[in-house]
Structures are given as C-alpha cells and as structure tokens.
Amino acid sequence: MINLLPEDEFLERTANVALQRVPWDLAKQKGVDVLMRRDDLIDTHLSGNKFYKLFYNLHAAKDSGYQQLLSFGGAHSNHIYALAMAAKFSGFKCIGVIRGERSRQLSATLLDAESAGMKLHFVSRTDYREKNSQELRGSLNRLYGDFFEIPEGGANNYGVIGTTALGTAISQQVKGDYTSICIAAGTASTLAGVASGVAMGDQNLNTDDKKVIGFSVLKGDGDLGSDIINHQHAINSKTNNWRLISGYHCGGYAKKLPNYLRQFMSEFEATANLQLDPVYTVKMCWGVAQLLVQNYWPRGSKIILIHTGGLQGRRGFGLF
Ligand SMILES: *Cc1c(COP(=O)(O)O)cnc(C)c1O
C-alpha cells in the first residue's frame, strides 16, 4: 500500500512555515530587515526544498502504478537521503544509484538511507557521468525490475512544480511586503519554481523591483541561467523576477569550508539561533552578508532568506 500526503495537506503545511527575524548586527547597520523562512522545519524526515521537489514525483509514481522509485546522487546527497525517507514512510521500494565505489565505511547519509530500506547501487565516477545511458537503464531494469525514475536533485517538472508551492506560500505570507527573496542554487530548479510560484501568488507583482535571488554554490556554474529558463518553460512559465548571483561558492561544491566561512557559519548560527548546512545555505548567507557589505540593498529593504534544509549533510563535514 502506497500512502501519500494529500495535496491539500501539502499546501497547508507550506502555508504554515515560520518566518523568523534574524537579529543580525550587519543588517541592522545597513537598515535592512532580514527574515528566515524555516523550511528546514517543514517535515521531520524530509527537510527543506526536497520536501517540495519530491511531493509531485511521489504522486506521479503512485498514479502511474509504480511500486518502486529510483534516483541518483553522491555519498552525502540530501536528495538521496530525502528519497530514502520518503519511500520508507510512504511504502515505496527505492533504489539509490550512488556516484563512486562502495567504500568500506559508508557515509552517515548512506547508512541512514540503507537502514531506511533503500537499495544502494554504486557506479564508478566514469559510469556515473553516463547515468542517462540506455545501457545503465537496461542493467538497472534487469536487476531491479520496473521503477519510476527521478533525476539527480529531483530536478524534473514534478520537482519544479512542487517548488512553485514554496514561492506561492511566501507571496501569500508576506503579501508583497518584501524587497528580495534569497535562496541557494545547485541545479537552480528550486529557484526557477519559486520565482514562478511567487508570480502566481501575487497578481500585483512588480517584477522590476521584487526579485528572487539565487546564490550559486557551484564554482563553474555553466549555463545555469538558461537551465532556469528551461525549468520554467517545462512547466509553462516564464518570469523575469529572478536573478542568479555567482562568486560565493567559497571554493566549490561540497568542498571543505575555508576557515573564514566556518567562523561566519558559527557566528551566524548563534545570531539566528538555528543551524545551517555546509553545502548550500551557508553559502547563501555568506553571499547575503557580502551584498549587505556592498550596500546592494537600500535602507528599509526587507529580505527573506529561504532555509532549504539539508542539515543531515552536516555530518559529512564533522559538524553535529
Ligand atoms: C538540494 C539543495 C539545494 C539546491 O536545490 P536546487 O534546486 O538544485 O538548486 C539547496 N539547498 C539545500 C539544503 C539542498 O539540499
């Protein structure tokens, strides 16, 4: 039996996520009001944007009669972790195709995923790059039978549609009273969905001055801008209320945190009275700090930071 959260309860949850003021001296000096939307708290098992990205994927899988889910990720992946938890609590079987050979000591993320019932299928880094190949599909089908496939990071149409609910919820919560919404961007499919959702939720939106700003956590972020346009296109949306900011990756994706960032992280956490994850949200907050220093926002601005969760990933960095 597959048992999923109904859509009305999903929407109700998204409407009730706390917006918490961050008493940040730097922001106060600059006359900017900073609020954090605590999507890390939206669910006990699936945190942050992965809760949104998986919701319609799970429904699509169930509606098409699948019993089994399959997706891709690295050894510390928040997406793999969320998928394993979602499968466990909804009654799906699931398979995680994991980048790299199986190591003798599995990461905390993979240990949890495996004990939640996920089957781990390791592929070499070279094969992982070819993860969309027909050969891999064929051998996975022979090994595991039929499955509903979700791309790495949950970045498909269903994932983007799920994240529009996050944007709509914010615009209804703040009713136009904000300057910018800030979010960390990996594939930037959440940024795309949130920007669309904000536009759907606010008929009076002035897209010239109210933006959703994505902070890329990637060192080489390639063509992320056109990815955003494509993600929106795939859900029949096109908005110009988003911006992508690069340069605050602090050494690259999931790399060891430089000392200045580690120090910033613990200070920010103490100030805001919450925890950040070391791959995404800490870099968004660092980017926001740098923009505040540069007087990017005029006095009187009100900015909303989205906490996209991912705290389970702290363990891979020796943070608890
Ligand atoms: C996956 C993840 C992101 C990135 O989401 P994208 O849609 O790929 O941009 C951001 N923050 C956290 C905590 C994540 O786990």
| CB 310 less than 6 A from any atom of ligand 1 | yes
Same domain, 247 and 167: yes
CATH code, domain carrying 69:
3.40.50.1100
Question: Is 217 close to ligand 1, i.e. is its CB under 6 Å away?
Answer: no
Q: DSSP readout, 267-290?
A: HHHHHHTS---TTTHHHHHHHHHH
**pTM exceeds cut of 0.85:** yes
pLDDT at residue number 269: 98
H or E stretch covering 304:
strand 302-306
Same domain, yes or no: 138 and 206 = no
Q: From 154, 188, 203, give the residue that closes a domain.
A: 154
User: Which secondary-structure segment (H or E) carries 207?
Assistant: none
Clarify whether residues 219 and 257 are in a common domain. Answer: yes
Q: How far is the CA of 218 from the centre of ligand 1 (A)?
A: 11
Task: Say if residues 142 and 148 touch (Cβ distance below 8 Å).
Answer: no
Query: Do 33 and 54 share a domain, yes or no?
Result: no
2 falls within a domain: no
Residue 187 lies inside a defined structural domain of this protein: yes
Same structural domain, 213 and 249: yes
Identity at 57, one-letter amino acid code: N
Q: Say how many Å lie between the CA of residue 46 and the centre of ligand 1.
A: 13
Position 102 scores a pLDDT of 95
Residue 1 covered by a domain: no
Same domain, 96 and 170: no
Residue 239 located in a structural domain: yes
One domain for residues 116 and 255:
no
Within this chain, do residues 35 and 57 fall inside the same structural domain, yes or no?
Answer: no
Domain count, the chain: 2
Q: Is 80 in the pocket of ligand 1 (CB under 6 A)?
A: no
| Domain boundary residue, one of 116, 134, 154 | 154
Any alpha helices (H) in the chain, and if so which ranges?
7-15, 25-29, 49-63, 78-90, 108-115, 125-129, 134-144, 157-174, 189-201, 224-234, 259-272, 281-293
Boundary (domain end) residue, out of 136, 154, 172: 154
Would you state the pLDDT for residue 208? Answer: 78
Tens digits of residue pLDDT in 3-52: 999 999 999 999 999 999 999 999 999 999 999 999 999 998 888 999 99
CB of 153 closer than 6 angstroms to any ligand 1 atom: yes
Low-confidence ranges of the chain (pLDDT < 70): none
Pair of tokens at residue 269: 């956490």
Instruction: Count the Cβ atoms, other than its own, within 10 Å of residue 31.
Output: 12
Residues 72 and 97 in one domain: yes
Ligand 1 centroid – CA 225 distance (Å): 16
User: In what side-by-side order are the strands of the sheet with 180-185?
Assistant: 19-21, 33-37, 302-306, 180-185, 211-216, 242-245
Distance CA 30, CA 27 (A): 5
pLDDT reported for residue 103: 93
Closest ligand 1 atom to 277 CA: 13
Give the distance (Å) from ligand 1 centre to CA of residue 185. Answer: 6
Place of tokens 């759907």: 200
Surface-to-core class of residue 202, CB atoms within 10 Å of its CB (0-12 exposed, 13-18 middle, 19+ buried): buried
Same domain for 220 and 107, yes or no, is no
Q: What domain range is 208 assigned to?
A: 7-43+160-317
Are the C-beta atoms of residues 62 and 36 closer than 8 Å to each other?
no
What b/e sequence results for 15-24 when a residue is b if at least 16 CB atoms lie within 10 Å of its CB, and e otherwise? eebeebebeb
Longest dimension (CA), the chain: 61
189 lines ligand 1 (CB under 6 A): yes
Please work out whether the CB of residue 186 comes within 6 Å of at least one atom of ligand 1. yes
DSSP single-letter state for residue 6 = -
| Short-list 305, 61, 82, CA closest to 194 | 305
Please provide the DSSP assignment of 133-156 as one string: -HHHHHHHHHHH---EE--GGG-S
DSSP 182: E
303 contacts 34 by C-beta, under 8 angstroms: yes
